[in-house]
């Protein structure tokens, strides 16, 4: 009985088949070895000798093929525990094939087959499992790679009943990444076929009579599955293009699918894939000044809590303010395949791939993220300014230390620094006090807590560690960001406290605030600073001083705003670098002086995006505008401004107002009678 798998006989005893191949090979080798001892021939017998050599060469090649086939049969048979069982299995399989009506019918009986699906190849092999190799049939079709065991296998049901079922595996060719040949390291002649899916599952097939032929069919089936994918992709692109035209452009699609602020601008849109646990999803990636948003091209099926089947678009929205970084990555197996990895502040990762130009998209992402840093920095600086104001109100850092903690009479404060204390709820900003007796930390802001009765309380987060209880203090670095340093304190009872700063820039800002407080104390008060920095009349009175920011084309500048009976004056906290006409680098303070008599009005304004963020707009008679922001109490400052302007309107004065920009050039703006 001939086997329908590939023309090799199944019903013949395998041991006799191998023996016959070996005898034939040995005979051919003996003929080949004896050809050098043929008697010398005359010219008439030469063609016959050549013909004999040609026949021997062909028979020798046939012998080599027989050797390969014999080796394959040995491997195929050796995987089974007993040859008798193997032969029985082959005979019973052949009988089943005849009973059913052919291999194609077996394929359709065992697996769900599509109408247009074609069976390409069938072969006998073994599937490697953790319980050992299982003999069966490997079906290769245009749609799947399927395996079914020759025999039923015993299984225990959940109720403990013994069941016999066929071991089946079905791998869609669309989900198959590659099929490759492998070999046994101990036995290089023993070949395997390794099938790897897109989600990194591996299937090992072995014991083929002709593994190369099977491998060719596998490669053909996998390559065929790429065409439908490409067709679907092209269809998707065309339908997407039609939708874009129907809606009226990409910007309208963005506004339809996501909540968009009035001043939010769309920077870039590109087609890509979002990697998910269920596989990559094709869609559009929108990059705006506020968010990174993704929407799938097609609606996806979901089951509702009630069990109803729903179809909805897969959407993701990541606020730019919550995005830590966006970086390029690549597939290790396919370095040409590039990804863009977006990481949020809470360590969520989003992987986007399949870009036509990933570098262009990455540039837009970096641009959007860099734009979002300014508001964060403004909030941070506001916090620092409020802290500086509190320090001034209380009367210095030492008084704050004595107010917040119990201090001994002989205890000395050695150092105070601004930092963050790491907690399970996240880092908390505050002041770190180091004294001769303790290390103490107090949060800048009060924190909400629920009392045992359920009432909401606001208290300062405080930590006090006695120096005598500290075992060690050491510096540590962040593995991902070596420039980011921590200070780790370990107590005798193995408690650990981690103190850190967000960035070197922030550290410099903190230093600036502390140095400003130190300067005020050294000079002898705010009034003396005012007289040092600006020309002051004898009868001029200082009404108010506040910390704020002056808006400039180069960005906001932190400093002090002085309001007197004669002028509004601003001086930066730090000196600013400038190049002189000779090319020399200079450091000077940024100063502005506006005579009260030249001010037309001062009014309150607000940020359209963040209504809670207030500005004070000062407009002069010649339509110059100055914007001040970041006040701790803008209404109080505004009242002082309006009071100064109204009192000067009753006076008949003649004065010049001076504006001292970064180059300290005085500009005469005119006078009034």
| pLDDT tens-place string over residues 346-372 | 888 899 988 888 888 998 998 888 776
441 vs 237, higher pLDDT: 441
Longest CA–CA separation in the chain, Å: 142
Q: So what's the pLDDT on residue 169?
A: 92
Q: So what's the pLDDT on residue 61?
A: 62
Q: So what's the pLDDT on residue 63?
A: 59
Q: State yes or no: pLDDT of 13 exceeds 50.
A: no
Residue 176 falls in which region: left (phi positive, over 0), alpha (psi -120 to 50) or beta: beta
The CA distance from 366 to 654, in Å, is 52
Where residue 288 falls among pLDDT bands split at 50, 70, 90? very high
Sign of the torsion angle spanned by Cα atoms 297, 299, 305, 307: negative
Q: So what's the pLDDT on residue 456?
A: 79
- Chain-centroid distance, C-alpha 294: 14
Where residue 286 falls among pLDDT bands split at 50, 70, 90? very high
Contacts of 159 (CB under 8 A, 6+ apart): none
Q: State yes or no: pLDDT of 39 exceeds 50.
A: no
Closest CA to 571 of 505, 634, 519, 632: 519
Where residue 534 falls among pLDDT bands split at 50, 70, 90? very high
What is the percent of the chain with per-residue pLDDT over 70, rounded to a whole number? 70
Q: State yes or no: pLDDT of 382 exceeds 80.
A: no
Q: State yes or no: pLDDT of 27 exceeds 70.
A: no
Q: So what's the pLDDT on residue 87?
A: 52
What is the percent of the chain with per-residue pLDDT over 90, rounded to a whole number? 14
Per this entry, what is the length of the chain?
673
Report residue 119 as tokens.
């069976």
Q: State yes or no: pLDDT of 229 exceeds 70.
A: no
The CA distance from 531 to 484, in Å, is 41
Closest CA to 597 of 629, 621, 628, 632: 621
The CA distance from 89 to 65, in Å, is 26
Q: So what's the pLDDT on residue 203?
A: 92
Q: How many CB atoms lie within 10 A of CB 478?
A: 11
Compute the average pLDDT of residues 590-598. 91
Compute the average pLDDT of residues 396-413. 86
The CA distance from 94 to 103, in Å, is 10
Compute the average pLDDT of residues 46-67. 63
Which tens digits make up the pLDDT trace of 434-471? 888 889 999 888 877 777 787 878 888 899 999 888 88
Q: State yes or no: pLDDT of 4 exceeds 70.
A: no
Contacts of 540 (CB under 8 A, 6+ apart): 564, 565, 566, 567
Q: What is the mean pLDDT of the chain?
A: 76
Q: State yes or no: pLDDT of 70 exceeds 70.
A: no
441 vs 336, higher pLDDT: 441
Q: Which strands make up the sheet holding 191-197, listed edge to edge?
A: 162-172, 144-156, 134-141, 119-127, 202-206, 191-197, 176-183
Low-confidence winner among 364-378, 489-503, 594-608, 659-673 (lowest mean pLDDT)? 659-673
Q: Are 527 and 547 in contact (CB under 8 A)?
A: no
Which tens digits make up the pLDDT trace of 164-203? 888 999 999 888 888 898 887 887 778 889 999 888 889 9
- Chain-centroid distance, C-alpha 134: 42
Rg (CA), the chain: 42
Where residue 499 falls among pLDDT bands split at 50, 70, 90? confident
CA-to-CA separations, 305 to 37, 298, 300, 314, in angstroms, rounded: 89, 22, 16, 17
Q: So what's the pLDDT on residue 248?
A: 67
Compute the average pLDDT of residues 574-584. 80
Compute the average pLDDT of residues 419-443. 85
Low-confidence winner among 11-15, 127-131, 147-151, 561-565 (lowest mean pLDDT)? 11-15
Low-confidence winner among 149-153, 183-187, 382-386 (lowest mean pLDDT)? 382-386
Compute the average pLDDT of residues 62-80. 54
Report residue 534 as tokens.
């600006």
Report residue 448 as tokens.
């909400």
Report residue 48 as tokens.
């016959």
Q: State yes or no: pLDDT of 380 exceeds 80.
A: no
């Amino acid at each position: 009985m001939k086997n329908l798998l590939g023309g090799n006989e199944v019903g013949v005893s395998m041991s006799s088949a191998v023996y016959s191949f070996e005898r034939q090979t040995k005979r051919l080798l003996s003929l080949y070895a004896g050809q050098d001892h043929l008697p010398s021939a005359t010219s008439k017998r030469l063609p016959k000798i050549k013909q004999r050599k040609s026949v021997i060469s062909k028979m020798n090649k046939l012998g080599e093929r027989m050797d390969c086939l014999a080796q394959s049969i040995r491997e195929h048979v050796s995987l089974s525990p007993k040859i008798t069982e193997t032969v029985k299995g082959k005979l019973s399989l052949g009988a089943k094939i005849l009973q059913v009506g052919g291999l194609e019918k077996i394929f359709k009986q065992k697996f769900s087959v599509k109408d247009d699906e074609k069976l390409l190849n069938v072969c006998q092999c073994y599937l490697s499992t953790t319980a050992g190799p299982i003999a069966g049939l490997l079906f290769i079709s245009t749609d799947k790679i399927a395996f079914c065991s020759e025999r039923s296998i015993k299984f225990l049901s959940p109720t403990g009943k013994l069941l016999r079922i066929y071991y089946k595996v079905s791998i869609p060719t669309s989900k198959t990444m590659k099929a490759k040949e492998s070999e046994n390291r101990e036995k290089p002649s023993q070949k395997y076929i390794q099938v790897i899916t897109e989600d990194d599952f591996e299937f090992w097939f072995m014991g083929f009579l002709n593994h190369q032929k099977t491998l060719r069919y596998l490669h053909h089936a996998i390559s065929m599955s790429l065409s439908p994918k490409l067709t679907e992709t092209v269809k998707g692109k065309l339908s997407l293009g039609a939708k874009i035209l129907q809606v009226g452009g990409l910007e309208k699609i963005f506004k339809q699918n996501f909540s968009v602020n009035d001043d939010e601008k769309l920077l870039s849109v590109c087609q890509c894939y979002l990697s998910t646990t269920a596989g990559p999803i094709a869609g559009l990636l929108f990059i705006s000044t506020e968010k990174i948003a993704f929407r799938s091209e097609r609606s996806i099926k979901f089951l509702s809590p009630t069990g109803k089947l729903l179809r909805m678009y897969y959407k993701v929205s990541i606020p730019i303010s919550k995005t830590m970084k966006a970086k390029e990555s690549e597939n290790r197996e396919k370095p040409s395949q590039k990804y863009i990895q977006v990481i949020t502040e809470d360590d969520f990762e989003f992987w986007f791939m399949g870009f036509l130009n990933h570098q262009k998209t990455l540039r837009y992402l970096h641009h959007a993220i860099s734009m979002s840093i300014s508001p964060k920095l403004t909030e941070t600086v506001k916090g620092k300014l409020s802290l500086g104001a509190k320090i001034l109100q209380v009367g210095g850092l030492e008084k704050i230390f004595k107010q917040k903690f119990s201090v001994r009479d002989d205890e000395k404060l050695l150092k105070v620094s601004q930092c963050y204390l790491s907690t399970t709820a996240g880092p908390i900003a505050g002041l770190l006090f180091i004294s001769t007796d303790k290390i103490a930390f107090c949060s800048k802001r009060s924190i909400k807590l629920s009392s045992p009765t359920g009432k909401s309380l606001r208290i300062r987060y405080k930590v006090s560690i006695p120096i005598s209880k500290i075992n060690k203090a050491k510096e540590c670095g962040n593995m991902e960001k070596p420039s980011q340093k921590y200070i780790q304190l370990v107590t005798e009872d193995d408690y650990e406290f981690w103190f850190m700063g967000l960035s070197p820039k922030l550290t410099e800002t903190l230093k600036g605030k502390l140095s400003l407080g130190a300067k005020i104390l050294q000079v002898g008060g705010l009034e003396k600073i005012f007289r040092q920095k600006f020309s002051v009349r004898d009868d001029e009175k200082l009404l108010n001083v506040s910390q704020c920011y002056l808006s400039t084309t180069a960005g906001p500048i932190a400093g002090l705003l002085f309001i007197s009976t004669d002028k509004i004056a601003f001086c930066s906290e730090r000196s600013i670098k400038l190049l002189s006409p000779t090319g020399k680098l200079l450091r000077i303070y940024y100063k502005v002086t506006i005579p009260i008599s030249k001010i037309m009005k001062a009014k309150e304004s607000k940020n359209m995006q963040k209504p809670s963020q207030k500005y004070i707009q000062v407009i002069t008679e010649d339509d110059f505008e100055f914007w001040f922001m970041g006040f701790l109490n803008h209404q109080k400052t505004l009242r002082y401004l309006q009071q100064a302007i109204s009192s000067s309107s009753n006076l008949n004065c003649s004065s010049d107002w001076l504006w001292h920009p970064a180059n300290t050039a005085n500009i005469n703006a005119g006078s009034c009678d």
